Copies of this chain bind each other. A is one copy, B any other.
């Protein structure tokens, strides 16, 4: 079911959701976390959220904690999820560095 090359590079919403799940959180808490953490700049709606949760579960990057209450399903990143997040942070760091480097080079010239 929809496996494959996806999740090689994480998109912004996937990245945020994985970050949120370094600590165990349930769906609604993830939405709030991202909204707060970004000062409302980045919002994840329910459609995006639950779509991505399913995908992350399928990829084994997060897992649902077996809980009694079905009204508050709690998820958390697996070891593989943490590793993936670390890699993604590095990948994004390189992108930012490239951007800064190129912009700085332009600044020096002009």
A interface with B by C-beta (< 8 Å): 9, 11-12, 15-16, 19, 22-23, 37-38, 41-42, 82, 85-86, 88-89, 91-96, 98-100, 102-103, 105-106
| Oligomer copy total | 2
Task: Note all chain B residues with C-beta closer than 8 A to A99.
Answer: 15, 19, 85, 88-89, 92
**When A22-B103, A82-B106, A103-B82 are in contact, do A15 and B89 touch as well, CB less than 8 Å?**
no
Task: Note all chain B residues with C-beta closer than 8 A to A105.
Answer: 22
The distance in angstroms between the C-alpha atoms of A41 and B103, with both chains bound, is 22
Task: Note all chain B residues with C-beta closer than 8 A to A22.
Answer: 102-103, 105-106
Interchain CB contact (< 8 A) of A89 among B16, B38, B100, B106: B100
Q: Which 10 A-B pairs have the closest CB atoms?
A: A89-B99, A22-B102, A92-B96, A93-B96, A22-B106, A19-B102, A19-B99, A89-B96, A89-B100, A96-B96
